[in-house]
Structure 1
């Protein structure tokens, strides 16, 4: 059952992108990829420094450090959806991210821990992880602003 849930967490978010216009998906794919890199680095650092351990969310056996279903499935696609609904409205974006990150860490993550989908072993306080996630969201917001500015400059030159 656990493997089925992990596969669904990897595949279903991607299927949800069919409900967006292709231009929207193309616009926000770079920021989602950037967030994937940030999350991958964060999981590497967490493994190295012993902040948390996600062995319970391995889908393939080789993904014990970076959980593929979360980082390359759900997180990736959620970034696109959040940017679709909130980009350009910073306070809405920040509020949505705080609610999603806090809700995930304080409500969803403990439930998944009881179901065995995540290990739940962390040396960091939950609020620290939420603050880290919100910090990442601020970084990627700035990245998207930069991308839009660069695209605008290219459009002006043509």
Structure 2
């Protein structure tokens, strides 16, 4: 059952992108990939400094540090959907992120712990992890603003 849930977390979110226009996916894929890089680096740092471990969410045996189903599946796609609905409305974006990050860390994550999907070993208080996630959300919002500005620049003749 655990493997089915983990594979679903990896595959089903990607399938949800069929409900978006391809232009929307193309527009927000760079920010989602950037968030994936940030998240991967955060998990690497957490592993190195002992902040937390995600031993229960491995699909492949080599993904002991970064939970592939979450970081490269659900979370990546969630970023696209959040930007689709909130980009350009910063305060709504921020409120949505605060609510979703809090919901994840205080409700969903404990359920996943009881199901054995995550280990829950952490030396950081939950509020610190939520603050880190909100910080990442602010960074990627700035990144998307930069991306939008970059593509609106007139092309110079070479």
* TM-score (structure 2 length as normaliser): 0.98
Unaligned runs of 5+ in 1: none
Aligned to 1:5: 5
> What is the total number of aligned residue pairs between the two structures?
157
Residues 113-124 of structure 1 mapped to structure 2, 5 A cutoff: 113-124=113-124
In 2, Cα distance between equivalents of 1:153 and 1:104: 38
In 2, Cα distance between equivalents of 1:96 and 1:13: 18
Aligned to 1:99: 99
In 1, Cα distance between equivalents of 2:97 and 2:48: 26
In 2, Cα distance between equivalents of 1:60 and 1:48: 20
Q: Deviations over 1:11-36 (max 9, x none)?
A: 00000000000000000000000000
In 2, Cα distance between equivalents of 1:129 and 1:76: 18
Aligned to 1:51: 51
Residues 72-111 of structure 1 mapped to structure 2, 5 A cutoff: 72-111=72-111
Moved over 4 A (4+): none
Q: Deviations over 1:16-69 (max 9, x none)?
A: 000000000000000000000000000000000000000100011100000100
* TM-score (structure 1 length as normaliser): 0.98
In 2, Cα distance between equivalents of 1:35 and 1:140: 7
Aligned to 1:35: 35
